[in-house]
Homo-oligomer: A and B are copies of this chain.
Amino acid sequence: MVRRNLFLISSSKVHGHEYLQHSREALTEFFRKHNVTKVLFIPYALFNYDKYTKKVGDVLTSWGFEVEGIHRKDDPVEAVRKADAIYVGGGNSFLLLKLLHERKLIEPIRERIFSGEAVYVGSSAGTNVATVSIKTTNDMPIVYPPTFDALALVPFNINPHYLDPLPGSTHHGETRQQRIEEFHHLNAIPVLGLREGTYLHVEDDKMTLLGDFNARLFMKSKTPVEVPPNSDMSFLLRE
C-alpha cells in the first residue's frame, strides 16, 4: 500500500460557481477527515504571492481553515516538513515546477505526502505537478524548468481543464484529444482528461472521480473512454 491523501481539482473556477465553491463540500470533508486546521499554500504558479494567497485564504478561512503562504516562511522546506496540508494553486505549470525544483521542495513534499503526515490539494497547475510530469499541461512554456518531471504522487498524468472539440469550430489548432494522442506517440503512461467541475480523491491505493462531469481517459493505442462521476479509478494507481 502506498500512503497518500490527495485532492486533485481540475480548476478552481467553474462556470456557474464562485471561486472554489464547487468543491466546497468535498474539500471541507477531506480536510476534516484528516484533522486539518491549517493549510500551507504554495502560490508559485502566479506572480503576486500575497494577492493569490489572500484570494484562496479568504475562501478557506470562511470555511473554517487557516491559510499561510509559503512565501512568508523563512524556510520553505521546513514549512513543508511541518505542514498538515499542502495546497498548490493553479497558474503556469512551467513556472510552478521550476520554482518547486529551484527551492528544493520536490522531495520534501513527496516525503511529507507519502508518509501520510500531510494531505495534498492541487488545482489546475497544482494538479499537473502532482502527477508524473507536466507534459500534459495546457500552459504556455514561459520559463524553462530544469525538467518536466514532477511530484509523481500518482503514476499517471492529468490534463486539467479538459475541453471537448467545439462543435462548428473553424479553428485549425490541434484539439485537446489530438495533443494527448501526440503525447502517447512518445510516452506510455495513461492521461486522465479532467473537465472543469471535476476532481479526484485519492486515499492511499483508492481513487474516486468526483464532481459534475465525466472524465475522459486516454491510454496509449486505445480508444479514449468516458468515465462517469463517482467511478472507482483505483486501477490507475497500480504502476
Contacts and interface: CB of A to CB of B under 8 A. Distances in A.
Chain A, interface size category, equals 35 or more
Interface string A157-185: 00001010010001111100001101101
A140 B186 CA distance: 12
Contacts of A137: 140-141
Most buried by B among A143, A172, A187: A172
A198 B170 CA distance: 15
Interface in A94-112: 94-95
A135 interface: yes
Contacts of A220: none
Contacts of A179: 139-140, 142
Given A161-B173, A170-B15, A144 B140 contact: no
A114 interface: no
A172 B161 contact: yes
Contact of A141 (B14, B134, B180, B185): B134
Indicate how many identical chains form the complex. 2
B138 A185 contact: no
What 4 A-B pairs have minimum CB-CB distances, sorted nearest first? Answer: A15-B170, A13-B172, A161-B173, A140-B179
21 contacts: A11-B172, A11-B173, A95-B182, A95-B186, A135-B141, A135-B142, A135-B143, A136-B140, A136-B142, A137-B140, A139-B179, A140-B182, A140-B183, A142-B179, A142-B185, A142-B186, A142-B187, A144-B147, A161-B171, A161-B172, A163-B173
Interface of A: 11, 13-16, 47, 91-92, 94-95, 134-144, 147-148, 161, 163, 166, 170-174, 179-180, 182-183, 185-187, 196
